[in-house]
Structure 1
């Protein structure tokens, strides 16, 4: 891969990760500063509400009591993980894997920014069916889950990179 191809690929992956980050942060700012003032539950459909929730824990609020006072440490670790995932995306041999990893990195970075800025992750999407509620989530969570699903599907169903040596030496 030539330098210009590598640079273009890195730019595309950075745009994807940054796009996820900016979209999620903008949505959270609008929800926190405008829509949820005062905090309340807004019923949009029979299965979809907007709520305002601050998650100091990890996924689904696990360990929230333990992590409530360690938001900066958890946010820092999460930021390092997001950066590491982005590095893996840049060095991935398959475009679909790189795209999935950049989505995951953007979502992780956005949630990390919440922890560092607010001390907890802002969640506001509330899905419920037949009285059962899924834990509230945000667009960064959607990007993380979508990235993991695409990456897993690529690993299970995608073709493997070829180990054949190219004739032109590139």
Structure 2
């Protein structure tokens, strides 16, 4: 049962991400409408990311893009193995969100040469690099999956008996 839950999360995250990107790029045409101010801290924009978070490991040439894709797919393979062996549905679902989000961004690199980001979070608060952050549905799925894994690990730690000192 955990595997089915994890695979459903992979498919859901990947499908939502790719559908949203298609809609933003080809139906809504965000490139011609940007920026759209949603709130004082959130705008809709089109930003092409040639790297990973904050454009780290930027890959604007075919060889570097191929290396980045290979690196990402190797991480996805490790996470998929963990998902396959996950004993609990929450673990599998969380890993599925991470894997599905990662595959959504890999799909962008393969089909568009870069990852399309749309949600521009910005604030004047002193929160370091999060003061300006552009992300997409895949990134949100990855974030939620990691958050669920962290919460589950805290819950698991709380459930373990505390050893009695002798």
TM over 0.5: yes
- 1:23 equivalenced with 2:11 (yes/no): no
Q: Secondary structure at the match of 1:135?
A: strand
- Mind listing any 5+ residue stretches in structure 2 that lack a counterpart? 161-166
Which residue of 45, 55, 68 corresponds with 2:60?
Answer: 68
| Aligned alpha-carbon RMSD (Å) | 1.9
Residues 124 and 60 of structure 1: CA distance in aligned 2, closer, same or farther (over 3 Å): same
2:2 touches 2:86 (CA, 8 Å); kept in 1? no
In the TM superposition, 1:1-20 aligns within 5 A as 8-20=1-13
Runs of 4+ in 1 over 4 A off after TM superposition: none
In the TM superposition, 1:27-42 aligns within 5 A as 27-35=20-28, 36-38=30-32, 40-42=34-36
Please name the residue that 2:106 is paired with: 112
Please name the residue that 1:154 is paired with: 152
TM superposition shift of 1:115: 0.8
Please name the residue that 1:134 is paired with: 132
Please name the residue that 1:167 is paired with: none
What TM-score, normalized by structure 2, do the two folds share?
0.81
What TM-score, normalized by structure 1, do the two folds share?
0.80
1:104 touches 1:148 (CA, 8 Å); kept in 2? yes
